[in-house]
Amino acid sequence: MPELDSPQRQAPDSLMLTGFWYRALPADRVHRNQLHKAMLLEIPLVIGRDRAGRPFALRDACPHRGMPLHCGQFDGENVECSYHGWTFDAHNGQCQLIPSLTADQNLKVDRIYAGSYPCEEQDGFVWVYIPDPSPQGAGFAKPEEAPEPAPQIEKFGEASSGKYKLAYLTADMPVSIDHGIIGLMDPAHGPFVHQAWWWRSRHSIHEKQKNFEPIPNGFRMSAHTPSSNSAPYKLLRLYAAADSITTTIDFVLPNLRRETIRAGKYWFSSLTTVTPITRNQCRIDVVAAWNLFRWLPFGSDLLKFVFAKFVEQDRRTMELQAEGLQHNPHLMLIDDADRPAKWYFQLKDAHLEAKRTGGEMKHPMTGPVTLKWRS
Ligand code: FES
Ligand SMILES: [Fe+2]
């Protein structure tokens, strides 16, 4: 077994995974008949909403001579490039018009495409599907279809009747996707990074034991423990007996962290993503849905306050970490506290290997595992 007690050196390779949905922009920042810039996996995008409110995503480069399309005009249906006025369907990128063509020139305009991407709005965010790079050059191909819809936040009970609240937080992190993700799943930084007089101090550090199990493309931490430090947990204890509270935290490739807390008929559910923007930059988006505090005016503000504080502490930490990472120091991951980070790298490797061979993905975990650490 390679998992000895000695620290294992590991440098994140910051490879960005294609073939997945990614959060591009908060939906409330994308307005009808306007064009917005965004970047995902080093791909420049222009995001907008058509007249009917449906979002779309195009590559932010005109297939003619590369002018950014966000500089152009949008009439609610087609995007017109600001350089020579070529016009493209906002949803599939198909060229509609080349103004310079004379009546006797029969260039097949409809065979020209601006790059376009599957785009969906889900739980307050505009998501974009980034396909595997296609062999043919961009600009002359129809968009690829996404194999499945964008990820959703799990909701419970009367959720179908819309009786829940939804809120988001977002923060840019000047580190690679890998550092962003392992920072997100790292249990040992809590007592040092997330201190607050109303929350906990570093002296509250104690031994913990958690059970993990493999799930498709990821792993699950299942817990029924009242000693959890997760953010909404202490608030939930006001609502239900500690032993009726159950929490689950899942990590699923490429970048999804789902946390579910249930206490009787009350629930809190979040979907956090770390999105690769460039090789050295990622963004964390936390979207939470819950049905507790619904009727209390300050409830959602309180939750937002707690989360904003946490996210800002993480952001600041990664900003400082980026300084240390600038000159490629040797890094290590230790057991058990960094085991989830190791699983992340192993999952990523297994995913890429399966893609390369066309075979089934070989999950790095063979069964349930108990991890222990102090935090
Ligand atoms: S560069 Fe866009 S129309 Fe020429
Ligand atoms: Fe954190």
Q: What percentage of the chain has pLDDT greater than the value 70?
A: 84
8: pLDDT strictly greater than 60: no
Average pLDDT over residues 11-29: 89
Q: Any idea which residue has 């009787």 for tokens?
A: 264
- What separation in Å is there between the alpha carbon of 111 and the centre of ligand 2? 49
Q: How far is CA 256 from CA 145, 153, 168, 182, 361, in A?
A: 21, 10, 15, 12, 18
Q: What is the CA radius of gyration of the chain?
A: 23
Give every strand in the sheet of 87-89, ordered side by side. 73-74, 78-80, 87-89, 95-97
Q: Is 264 left (phi over 0), alpha (psi -120 to 50) or beta?
A: left
Q: What percentage of the chain has pLDDT greater than the value 90?
A: 66
Query: Which residues lie at CB < 5 A from ion ligand 2?
Result: 314
- Name the burial class of residue 212, with classes exposed (0-12), middle (13-18) and buried (19+) by CB atoms within 10 angstroms of its CB: buried
Q: Give ∠ CA 236-238-241 in degrees, rounded to 5.
A: 85
Q: Which of 81, 95, 97, 98 to mutate to test the pocket of ligand 1 (most atoms within 8 A of CB)?
A: 81
Q: Which atom of ligand 1 is nearest to the CA of 72?
A: 2
Q: At residue 303, what are phi and psi to the nearest 5 degrees? A: -60, -45
Q: Is the peptide bond before 336 cis (omega within 30 degrees of 0)?
A: yes
Average pLDDT over residues 7-22: 75
268: pLDDT strictly greater than 60: yes
Give every strand in the sheet of 125-130, ordered side by side. 20-26, 125-130, 119-122
Q: Which atom of ligand 1 is nearest to the CA of 98?
A: 3
Q: At residue 96, what are phi and psi to the nearest 5 degrees? A: -105, -30
Tally of CB atoms within 10 A around 133: 9
**Closest to 317 (Cα-Cα) out of 200, 182, 168:** 182
64 lines ligand 1 (CB under 6 A): yes
CA dist., res. 324 & res. 314, Å (int): 15
Contact (CB, 8 A) for 268 and 247: no
89: pLDDT strictly greater than 50: yes
283-338 tens-digit pLDDT: 999 999 988 766 555 566 777 777 888 889 999 999 999 999 988 888 999 999 99
Beta bridge partners of 345: none
Q: Is the pTM of this model over 0.85?
A: yes
Beta bridge partners of 35: 48
38: pLDDT strictly greater than 70: yes
Q: At residue 319, what are phi and psi to the nearest 5 degrees? A: -60, -45
- Name the burial class of residue 219, with classes exposed (0-12), middle (13-18) and buried (19+) by CB atoms within 10 angstroms of its CB: buried
163 lines ligand 1 (CB under 6 A): no
62 lines ligand 1 (CB under 6 A): yes
Tally of CB atoms within 10 A around 280: 16
DSSP string, 293-357: STT-TTHHHHHHHHHHHHHHHHHHHHHHHHHHHTT----EE-TTTTHHHHHHHHHHHHHHHHHHH
Residues comprising the chain, all counted: 375
Name the closest-CA residue to atom 4, ligand 1: 84
Structure tokens at 357: 């061979």
Q: What is the pLDDT of residue 285?
A: 96
- Number of the ligand closest to the Cα of 60: 1
Q: What is the mean pLDDT of the chain?
A: 87
97 lines ligand 1 (CB under 6 A): no
CA dist., res. 169 & res. 184, Å (int): 14
Q: Which atom of ligand 1 is nearest to the CA of 69?
A: 2
101-130 tens-digit pLDDT: 999 999 999 999 999 999 999 999 999 999
Structure tokens at 181: 């993700």
Least confident of 70-74, 185-189, 224-228: 224-228
100 lines ligand 1 (CB under 6 A): no
- What separation in Å is there between the alpha carbon of 190 and the centre of ligand 2? 6
69 lines ligand 1 (CB under 6 A): no
- What separation in Å is there between the alpha carbon of 342 and the centre of ligand 2? 18
206-254 tens-digit pLDDT: 898 999 999 999 999 987 655 556 656 666 666 666 667 888 999 999 9
**Closest to 286 (Cα-Cα) out of 267, 306, 266:** 306
Q: At residue 177, what are phi and psi to the nearest 5 degrees? A: -55, -40
Q: What is the pLDDT of residue 93?
A: 96
324-340 tens-digit pLDDT: 998 888 899 999 999 99
Q: How far is CA 24 from CA 43, 153, 241, in A?
A: 11, 16, 39
